[in-house]
């Protein structure tokens, strides 16, 4: 069962706004929410919700480290490029 399916099975919901995630608790326990905050788990959820997440992360990192942009600027530009806005 996918992580997203587990969240939904407990009445929770994952909402994506651009490249950010918000999790509505539902009946998820504090321990479950803590587990969902782990970077690798959060990455896996983002990949389930938004398959382009890996491409977005790569483009943002290149812009930040090679292009000298701030992280916020790099994420904004990468999002526009990946979503072709």
> What confidence tens digit (pLDDT) does each residue in 43-72 have?
999 999 999 999 999 999 999 999 999 999
Residue 84, classified by CB atoms within 10 Å of its CB into exposed (0-12), middle (13-18) or buried (19+), is exposed
Q: Please say if the pLDDT value at position 36 is more than 80.
A: yes
Between CA 50 and CA 60, with CA 56 as vertex, the angle to 5 degrees is 150
Write down the pLDDT at residue 7: 97
pLDDT, average across residues 16-20: 93
pLDDT band, very low/low/confident/very high, at 24 (cuts 50, 70, 90): very high
Residue 70, classified by CB atoms within 10 Å of its CB into exposed (0-12), middle (13-18) or buried (19+), is exposed
Q: Which helix (H) or strand (E) holds 6?
A: helix 3-9
Residue 70: phi, psi to the nearest 5? -70, 160
């Amino acid at each position: 069962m996918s992580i997203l399916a587990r969240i939904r099975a407990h009445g929770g919901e994952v909402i994506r706004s651009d490249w950010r995630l918000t999790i509505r608790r539902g009946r998820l326990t504090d321990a479950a929410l803590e587990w969902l905050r782990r970077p690798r788990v959060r990455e896996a959820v983002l990949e389930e919700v938004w398959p382009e997440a890996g491409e977005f992360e790569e483009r943002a990192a290149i812009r930040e480290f090679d292009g000298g942009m701030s992280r916020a600027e790099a994420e904004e530009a990468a999002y526009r490029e990946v979503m072709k806005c």
